[in-house]
Structure 1
Amino acid sequence: MLSLLCTTLLSLTLVSSVDSQVKSTTAPITVHASLGSNVTLPCRLDTSSDMMSFGSVGMRVKWSRVQENNAQEEEEDVLVSMGYHKKSFGDLNGRVFLREADDQDASLVMMDVSADDAGNYRCEVMKGMDDSIQEVVLKVEGDNGVVFPYFPRLGRYNMNFHEAERACVGQGATMASYEQLLQAWHSGMDWCNAGWLSDGTVQYPINDPREPCGGANTEAGIRSYGKRDKANNQYDAFCFVPSLNGLFYWLDQPHRLTYDEAVEACLDDGAEIANVGHMFAAWKLQGYDRCDSGWLADGSVRYPISRPRKYCSPDEAAVRFVGFPDKKQKLYGVYCFRSAE
């Protein structure tokens, strides 16, 4: 109860004090960390202003994670602190604390860094009349890229190894390696359909053991069919895209579009219709979230959800697959991609 009261008081203080504070915003800092390591996101109170900072007031700190949603900025609380009272939130609860090396240090220590921890963070620290804001970008080595399952319009289990390779390339990706699939599994990937990997094996990742996926009484892990005949055996594919080198976005349109109209609309906007790899990269690496079904280049319709909610993938963050509808249907919007090059 005391922690909740502290959080409420801190939130009210942050709001009510905006007009009276002497704000100081410094340039964003990029911090690199490796998977499983501990990392410190730096933040200090800037008292370079001419206003006096009253030490008896105490330092109030709010760390949040910042994401873009439909071109609007959203903040998710990570840690709030007022005096001796501190509270952390969400997936980082219990894994973050303030370093407090001195009276002006509000740096955040994060333990056991995971791929999902990568992103943009904001620190706001106040003491007396001083108010400092620090933006920090956390990049996690090993998190670059995303593994995603893929099957074509023909349906599941319709590609030999070479066709699966070409399918991944067609989505701006390469066929995933076992190591990449293993890392995806460690990050929570659960997919009950077998797919080709770059070493010629066929495997799939399970975090929630169940009867159709190797048995309900088995352990979570990577299920393997071993090496298969590359020419004659047919499965899905696991693809890997390392980054998103450009802008992935929903194109606002007054009406729904056919597939051909969707392609043309992106071209008219100086872009191209996005592929499946673009959507997965934007969703996983940038936290892209949009509850609108849109055409993609392969003729599929999908939408990315990073914040599960009612009517929009309520149970999990995921790229939701609608299907491969008739391309003449005017029921969907379109996702576009504009390359940075």
Structure 2
Amino acid sequence: MAMLNLHILLPVLAQWLTFLTSCQAARYNNGFFYHDLMNGNGNGEIYFNGVRLHVESPNSLVSAARGSNVTLPCYYRYEPELSVPRTTRVKWSWIPANGGSSAIAPSSSARETEVMVAMGNRHRSYGSFRGRVRLRRAAPGDMSLVISELHLHDTGRYRCEVIDGLEDESVTVDLELRGVVFPYFSQNGRYHFNFLEAQQACERQDATLATFEQLFTAWEEGLDWCNAGWLADGTVQYPITIPREGCGGTDLSAGLRSYGQRHRLFHRFDAFCFAASLKGTVYFLHTNKLNFTEAVQACIKDGGQIAKVGQLYAAWRLMGLDRCDAGWLADRSVRYPIVKARTNCGPSEPGIRNFGFLPEDHKYNVYCYR
């Protein structure tokens, strides 16, 4: 009986040993060579022993102008090089720089969203990027993303992920717009915006809530403002170049004063907005002085529209608009831009002079956008 069992078991054991031996050199259909589980760590991990995939970008930060086309560089290669090319899958995803609209949970805005996926000659784009993105493919391994007609909300961190079988490597590229940060407050006075209202206020002025990096750059360039405002990450901060009482005190050095994260619904502050470069032109309309309603109509009649605050700031900082004449803007404020400070044109530093929000029956000239 024992001999019979051994006679039955020997062929089975031989087949099992043959199977185990073949597993020692299993080659998967993606061309990578792996040791099988018997040579692993006992926890289901497969040890890699062959060609390695590398994904790289020569630029981790790309700066571009609003409305332009921009290329985010991404390349992949194998080490050692392959003699026969393989089909890879490429996925571009994105984390917006300007946060989400969540009233309470800022972490919910940090999720990556798909921009584009491609494999071979097939590709698909998503959301607001649909029809505006493509892969450059200027050379073998070039998976750089080309974005057309750059939007104000396209800024953020982009991830280029290359997938080949079990290999998955990625690199990130930050995209920023050239522009200018400006403080903005409600027509009702200081500290009237919760986070969502601050977002909306900036958007109405053709701008977005500034990021910390944008505010820090503005501070380095000399922005000094003693009123706290919301930023895109839900923090409240303000920039001080000249320490003084009432602005953090004289014991603190110059820098950004931070209140940290605030409740996005209940706490109220001003806003720091970011205006990007313009595709159109802001101009002073030569006409008789007008009330606000007449000013709106005058710009429309001239083929444009009354300019927004963000547009005036962008024209001043990025296009050199300099005019010592006060004019209406779309939010019913009266302002004028000064590049070269001079007598009878306000303070001794360049900037946007602000008369505040005035009654609509007051008469001024107007700044238009076309």
The 3-state SS of whatever aligns with 1:211 is coil
The 3-state SS of whatever aligns with 1:162 is helix
Distance 1:185 1:199 in 2: 17
Two-structure CA RMSD over aligned residues (Å):
1.8
Partner of 1:186 in structure 2? 220
Gaps of 5+ in 2: 1-61, 64-174
Partner of 1:149 in structure 2? 183
Cα offset for 1:260? 0.2
Partner of 2:313 in structure 1? 280
- Residue 365 of structure 2 corresponds to residue 333 of structure 1: yes
Partner of 1:234 in structure 2? 268
Distance 2:250 2:279 in 1: 40
Counterpart code for 1:333: N
Cα offset for 1:142? 6.6
Partner of 2:142 in structure 1? none
State TM-score, norm by structure 1: 0.56
Query: What's the CA shift string for 1:219-257, capped at 9, x where partnerless?
Result: 00000000001001000001111211101000000x210
Aligned length: 199
Distance 2:187 2:283 in 1: 23
From the CA coordinates, give the structure whose radius of gyration is larger.
2
1:219 to 253, 265, 272: 253
Distance 1:143 1:220 in 2: 26
Moved over 2 A (4+): none
Partner of 1:305 in structure 2? 338
Matches within 5 A, 1:97-246: 144-246=178-280
The 3-state SS of whatever aligns with 2:347 is coil
Distance 2:265 2:296 in 1: 33
Distance 1:288 1:180 in 2: 22
Gaps of 5+ in 1: 1-33, 36-140
Query: What's the CA shift string for 1:91-139, capped at 9, x where partnerless?
Result: xxxxxxxxxxxxxxxxxxxxxxxxxxxxxxxxxxxxxxxxxxxxxxxxx
Sequence identity percentage: 56
Deviates more, 1:312-321 or 1:162-171: 312-321
Distance 1:218 1:143 in 2: 31
The 3-state SS of whatever aligns with 1:252 is strand
- Of structures 1 and 2, the one with the larger relative CO (CA 8 A, separation 6+) is 1
Distance 2:259 2:227 in 1: 11
- Residue 296 of structure 2 corresponds to residue 263 of structure 1: yes
The 3-state SS of whatever aligns with 1:213 is coil
Counterpart code for 2:209: M
Partner of 1:26 in structure 2? none
Cα offset for 1:314? 3.4
State TM-score, norm by structure 2: 0.52
Counterpart code for 1:167: A
Distance 2:283 2:186 in 1: 23
